Amino acid sequence: MTDNQALNAFKQNFRGDLVSPADSGYDEARKLYNGMIDKRPRLIGRCADIADVMAAINFGRDNGWPIAVRGGGHNGPGLGSVDDGLVIDLSAMKGVRVDPESRTARVGAGCTQGDLDHATHAFGLATPAGIISTTGIAGLTLSGGHGYLSRKYGLTVDNLLEADVVLADGTFVTASKEKNSDLLWALRGGGGNFGVVTSFKFQLHPVGMVFAGPIAWDQKHARTIMQRYREFLQQAPEELGVFLGLKKVLSSAPFPQEIWGKRICLLMCCYNGSEEEGTKALAPLLGSLPEPWLNWMGVMPYPAVQSMFDGLYPKGMQWYWRGDFVKTLPDQAIDAHLEHAEKTPSELSLMHLYPIDGKVHRIRNDETAWNCRDATWSMVIAGIDPNPQQAGPIARWAKAYWDAVHPYDLGGAYPNFMMDDEGDGRLRATFGENYGRLAELKKKYDPANVFRVNQNIRPAA
Ligand SMILES: Cc1cc2nc3c(=O)[nH]c(=O)nc-3n(C[C@H](O)[C@H](O)[C@H](O)COP(=O)(O)OP(=O)(O)OC[C@H]3O[C@@H](n4cnc5c(N)ncnc54)[C@H](O)[C@@H]3O)c2cc1C
């Protein structure tokens, strides 16, 4: 078969939409969340079903096209797309089926976090996931997934019970504790290296109304807040998810105009329980701190806190980020943070410290591919700006900030907070003792490295 014949046969066999550079919708279809990334695939296949995923993998592999796999398109370095190759876009494969009896949900790989939260909230249930509702559940889950519920219920991967997967040879398998358990182990943190997941089954937990919201102080108090926060977290109830941020107040509603553009230290809180219990849980910390500039905590449905930041971070802005796992936060590290937080190049740029503790620590490093369970925080430094001309300054700021705090960190980083310019060594440091097993499983499930547009684990020699 010639290349054209193979392409035509693929097109005839494909039930979803195929978008090529000649189509009017091409520029919209190739857009990613990070406006800094401008990739031009040869074809975007918006799969309608598993048969489409199989056809796409077989076509791409047999014809030597690089293949990218896209869920929500939120990946920082844009690993959900590829220049001059085939994008297997799963965004149309949505649908969530909640089983209230077993407290589980079967979730289509095209779902966003918001899709999942919306469906499970009706049952008073949820599973841990990140803090922006437009993020794809697929990419987030496969590399870990941390959020407000993680202290109590673990990472998103800790709640992954089963996955339907199309492998590099085009065959379909289910990975669970009973079937292909080695594959399930690898999918629990090893990223998109092992196949295309078409649906996930998650454990859910009772989560309904929460007491949540931001509390922000003048950044001049940040040293005290960081010191108290690092002590407080060790004994805080696990129902309380609370991350710390160094950033600026945006110069827009709903923020009070008198603090627009000011530097703040933020505690973003979510207590899974009543206002009374949440207030009690936070009292030891808040009682030892000065009066904040704002305290917007209130009782709200869980999906409301999950989408609270959506409007501030719309698709298409410039993002450059660096991450690290952090075990301790010595005073010297706090000094380095404060020095660089003083130099944020834009109103949106930020540093966040997300807790990695509680239930996450009660699972051993070798129980899942996700290896950094002795960290206390997952840190991200993100340079963010709507203006493409700011791409250079925000990246330089994030790198310089990271250089200053990295010596106090653990060496590895959350793969979902990596760009694609940090080298293989970073991934090896992140997976640590699990790297060898992952490379063996890569050799078993994808020996030719068909799935290499990702934070790539190469097949063992
Ligand atoms: C604003 C923002 C906030 C964030 N907050 C958090 C947070 O609070 N917690 C957190 O844990 N993470 C967070 N993240 C990181 C997020 O988890 C990653 O960006 C993740 O990669 C997004 O997944 P996606 O499906 O949208 O990405 P995509 O770009 O669609 O895919 C990313 C990669 O995932 C793999 N992949 C995607 N779908 C599949 C599939 N079905 N089968 C196999 N491989 C697949 C592929 O390797 C692909 O290259 C945040 C990201 C952003 C941009």
Q: What SS3 class is residue 153?
A: helix
Percent helix, strand and coil across the chain, each to the nearest 5: 35, 25, 40
Contacts of 27 (CB under 8 A, 6+ apart): none
Tens of pLDDT, residues 24-74: 999 999 999 999 999 999 999 999 999 999 999 999 999 999 999 999 999
Q: Is the minimum distance from the CB of 323 to ligand 1 under 6 angstroms?
A: no
145 C-alpha to center of ligand 1: Å?
9
364 has a pLDDT exceeding 80: yes
Amino acid identity of residue 269, one-letter, is C
> Ligand 1 centre and the CA of 78: distance in Å?
9
Pocket mutation for ligand 1, best pick of 140, 313, 430 (most atoms within 8 Å of C-beta): 140
Average pLDDT over residues 130-156: 98
Paired tokens of 411: 């060496």
Task: Single out the residue of 338, 346, 332, 319 nearest to residue 416, CA to CA.
Answer: 319
Task: Please tell me if the CB atom of residue 74 comes closer than 6 angstroms to any atom of ligand 1.
Answer: yes
Burial annotation 146-183 (CB, 10 A radius, 16+ → b, else e):
bbbbbbbbbbbbbbbbbbbbbbbebeeeebbeeebeeb
Cα separation, 16 vs 415, in Å, equals: 30
User: Percent of the chain scored above 90 by pLDDT?
Assistant: 98
Band the pLDDT of 94: cuts 50, 70, 90: very high
Taking only the tens place, the pLDDT of each residue in 114-128 is 999 999 999 999 999
Q: Which atom of ligand 1 is closest in space to residue 109's alpha carbon?
A: 41
Which DSSP state fits 235? H
Segment 211-222 shows an average pLDDT of: 98
Q: Mean of the pLDDT values across residues 390-399?
A: 98
140 CB under 6 A from ligand 1? yes
From CA 286, how far away is CA 288, in angstroms rounded?
5
Ligand 1: does its nearest atom lie under 6 Å from the Cβ of 313?
Answer: yes
Determine if ligand 1 sits within 6 Å of the CB of residue 71.
Answer: yes
Given pLDDT bands bounded at 50, 70 and 90, which one contains residue 95? very high
Residue among 371, 373, 377, 362 nearest 409 (CA): 377
Mean pLDDT of 183-193: 98
Q: Judge whether residue 342 has pLDDT over 80.
A: yes
Give the number of other Cβ atoms within 10 Å of residue 256's Cβ.
11
- ∠ Cα 298 301 303 (to 5°): 120
pLDDT digits (tens, 9 = 90+) for 343-355: 999 999 999 999 9
Cα separations (Å) of 141 from 73, 130, 309, 407?
A: 13, 9, 20, 28
Task: With H, G, I as helix, E, B as strand and everything else as coil, classify residue 203.
Answer: strand
In ligand 1, which atom is closest to the CA atom of 134?
26
* pLDDT value for 424: 86
Residue 148 in contact with residue 133, Cβ under 8 Å? no
pLDDT > 70 fraction of the chain, expressed in percent and rounded: 100
320 C-alpha to center of ligand 1: Å? 15
How far is it, in rounded angstroms, from Cα 461 to Cα 443?
Answer: 8
Angle at Cα 330 formed by Cα 324 and Cα 332, nearest 5°?
A: 95
Tokens of 451: 């799935």
Q: Is the pLDDT of residue 242 over 80?
A: yes
Asked if residues 266 and 216 have their Cβ atoms less than 8 Å apart, the reply is: yes
Q: Which of 119-128, 146-155, 313-322, 419-428 has the lowest mean pLDDT?
A: 419-428
Return the closest-CA partner of residue 167 out of 94, 58, 64: 58
Q: Which of 235, 156, 163 is nearest to 197 (CA)?
A: 163
The answer to whether 61 and 450 have CB atoms below 8 angstroms apart is yes
Distance in Å, CA 208 to ligand 1 centroid: 25
Residue of the nearest CA to atom 16 in ligand 1?
Answer: 140
CA distance 239 to 337: 28
Provide the 3-class DSSP secondary structure of residue 105: strand
What stretch of H or E contains 211?
Answer: strand 209-218
Radius of gyration of the chain (CA): 22
Question: What pLDDT score was predicted for residue 61?
Answer: 98
C-alpha 5 – ligand 1 centre gap (Å):
34
pTM above 0.95, yes or no: yes
Say if residue 1's pLDDT is above 80. Answer: no
Average pLDDT score over the chain: 97
132 within ligand 1 shell (Cβ under 6 A): yes
Model pLDDT, residue 223? 98
From residue 317, alpha-carbon distances to 31, 35, 81 in Å are 11, 5, 17
In the structure, what pLDDT confidence band is assigned to residue 428 with cuts at 50, 70 and 90? very high
Determine the distance separating the centroid of ligand 1 and the alpha carbon of 279, expressed in angstroms.
Answer: 33
**Which residues have C-beta within 8 Å of that of residue 64, sequence separation ≥ 6?**
none
Distance CA 378, CA 63 (A): 40
Q: How confident is the model at residue 423 (pLDDT cuts 50, 70, 90)?
A: confident
- 286 CA from centroid of ligand 1 (Å): 33
pLDDT of residue 104 exceeding 90, the answer is yes
| Ligand 1 center from residue 401 Cα (angstroms) | 23
How many angstroms is it from 62 CA to the middle of ligand 1? 27
Residue 460 DSSP one-character state: P
| Crossing angle of helices 391-405 and 331-341, rounded to 10° | 170
Q: Which amino acid is at 52?
A: D
**For ligand 1, mutation pick of 75, 166, 455 (most atoms within 8 Å of CB):** 75
The residue contributing the CA closest to ligand 1 atom 2 is: 132
